[in-house]
């Protein structure tokens, strides 16, 4: 898998808290719940008084006021940056996190500067901010960061420890799965099959409702191929079913492929159709096999138009076998 699945989950999560014209951050949820790190809802005017006395928390809160446009002030991202900067200069970890987000997006009157963002995330993470650790785990492509892949892996593993310590099984499962991907050779990290399998198993060790569906799908593929575990198609089916239950289109597609190869087209067709149509990340392989179902009448009536349509979708979604078939048929 060439893209961190985690971002799909965070995009859904962040959309619940979206605010226009400003960079969105994972700390929004924390701040909405806490409301005020000082424990009371002070007006912006009261916060200015505290800030003038050197109170870093008040400076940070003023940044939030201007960021969101509440407590008596209108939203003004430049003012938000000003107050976050003042708080960050006093060592406020969350303010550093927000400043990094503005530098990443080039908003609030700032230009895009990923190295500055990295430095703010790093200072914040070193104070224990888990969301800054999360951002650092993905900054493996930024030029100018020494040993970027090693740094990304280190912060990824710090995320695992931090969220496990907090008892947040769902988020820790995501970062355990991301560590698995990195040890599979993603993000410039040297491949380590033993550690990859260890972190995949860690991701699967939580209660079922807290496990990312992609982790179930990956373990299912291991059992299907006999890769690092004894080959067992029935166990693979069990994992693919759990992946499907957790909203993973690739898991549904792998289930459909197993039944397709068994010749059980009545079971294969609805799974392949579901995997092609009903998931945020559909399965390109399922699209190719769905095309064959329509072309040859396997599990459904022959429909050349639908067959051609789904082969085109498989090519569009970069299924390599579909792309080869299209070349041969030209």
- Domain residue limits at 78: 20-113
- The verdict on 330 and 227 lying in the same domain is yes
- The verdict on 220 and 186 lying in the same domain is no
Structure-block tokens of residue 317: 């979604």
Secondary structure letter of residue 212 according to DSSP: -
Answer whether residue 51 is part of any domain.
yes
Answer whether residue 202 is part of any domain.
yes
pLDDT of the chain, 330 residues: tens digit per residue? 433 444 444 433 333 333 334 455 544 544 443 444 334 578 888 899 999 999 999 999 999 999 999 888 899 999 999 999 999 999 999 999 999 999 999 999 999 999 999 999 999 999 999 999 999 998 887 777 888 899 999 999 999 999 999 998 888 989 999 999 999 998 889 999 999 999 999 999 987 677 888 999 999 999 999 999 999 999 999 999 999 999 999 999 999 999 999 999 999 999 999 999 988 889 999 999 999 999 999 999 999 999 999 999 999 999 999 999 878 876
E strands in the chain: none
Q: Decide if 162 contacts 132 (C-beta within 8 A).
A: no
How far apart, in whole angstroms, are the C-alpha atoms of residue 209 and residue 118?
A: 33
Answer whether residue 124 is part of any domain.
no
- The verdict on 142 and 87 lying in the same domain is no
How far apart, in whole angstroms, are the C-alpha atoms of residue 27 and residue 68?
A: 13
Could you tell me which of 222, 205, 279 has the C-alpha nearest to residue 245? 279
Secondary structure letter of residue 280 according to DSSP: S
Q: How many domains does the chain have?
A: 3
Answer whether residue 3 is part of any domain.
no
- The verdict on 189 and 96 lying in the same domain is no
pTM greater than 0.85: no
The 10 Å Cβ neighbour count of residue 38 is 16
- The verdict on 168 and 276 lying in the same domain is no
What is the per-residue pLDDT for 92? 97
What is the per-residue pLDDT for 11? 35
How far apart, in whole angstroms, are the C-alpha atoms of residue 14 and residue 27?
A: 10
How far apart, in whole angstroms, are the C-alpha atoms of residue 31 and residue 122?
A: 20
Could you tell me which of 275, 247, 246 has the C-alpha nearest to residue 259? 275
Answer whether residue 12 is part of any domain.
no
Answer whether residue 223 is part of any domain.
yes
- The verdict on 58 and 148 lying in the same domain is no
How far apart, in whole angstroms, are the C-alpha atoms of residue 155 and residue 135?
A: 9
- The verdict on 324 and 222 lying in the same domain is yes
- The verdict on 192 and 241 lying in the same domain is no
Q: What is the CATH number of the domain that holds 275?
A: 1.25.40.10
- The verdict on 225 and 193 lying in the same domain is no
- The verdict on 97 and 149 lying in the same domain is no
How far apart, in whole angstroms, are the C-alpha atoms of residue 300 and residue 292?
A: 10
What is the per-residue pLDDT for 6? 46
Structure-block tokens of residue 188: 């410039």
- The verdict on 79 and 100 lying in the same domain is yes
Owner of token pair 């003012």: 79
- The verdict on 330 and 266 lying in the same domain is yes
């Amino acid at each position: 898998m060439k893209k961190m699945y985690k971002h799909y989950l965070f995009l859904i999560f962040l959309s619940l808290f979206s605010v226009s014209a400003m960079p969105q951050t994972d700390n929004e949820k924390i701040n909405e719940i806490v409301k005020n790190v000082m424990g009371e809802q002070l007006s912006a005017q009261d916060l200015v008084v505290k800030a003038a006395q050197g109170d870093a928390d008040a400076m940070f809160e003023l940044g939030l006021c201007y960021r969101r446009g509440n407590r008596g002030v209108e939203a003004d991202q430049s003012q938000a940056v000003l107050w976050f900067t003042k708080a960050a200069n006093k060592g406020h970890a969350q303010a550093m996190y927000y400043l990094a987000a503005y530098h990443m997006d080039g908003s609030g009157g700032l230009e895009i500067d990923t190295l500055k963002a990295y430095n703010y995330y790093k200072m914040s993470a070193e104070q224990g901010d888990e969301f800054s650790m999360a951002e650092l785990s993905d900054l493996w492509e930024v030029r100018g960061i020494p040993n970027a892949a090693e740094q990304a892996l280190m912060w990824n593993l710090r995320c695992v420890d931090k969220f496990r310590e907090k008892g947040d099984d769902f988020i820790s499962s995501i970062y355990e799965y991301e560590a698995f991907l990195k040890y599979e050779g993603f993000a410039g990290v040297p491949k380590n099959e033993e550690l990859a399998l260890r972190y995949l198993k860690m991701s699967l060790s939580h209660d079922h409702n807290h496990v990312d569906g992609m982790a179930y799908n990956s373990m299912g593929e291991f059992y299907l191929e006999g890769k690092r575990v004894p080959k067992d198609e029935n166990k693979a089916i069990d994992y693919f079913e759990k992946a499907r239950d957790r909203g993973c289109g690739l898991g549904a597609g792998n289930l459909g492929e197993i039944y397709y190869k068994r010749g059980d087209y009545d079971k294969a067709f609805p799974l392949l159709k579901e995997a092609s149509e009903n998931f945020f990340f559909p399965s390109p392989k399922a699209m190719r096999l769905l095309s064959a179902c329509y072309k040859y009448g396997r599990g459904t009536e022959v429909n050349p138009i639908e067959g051609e349509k789904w082969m085109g979708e498989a090519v569009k979604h970069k299924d390599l076998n579909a792309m080869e078939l299209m070349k041969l048929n030209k």
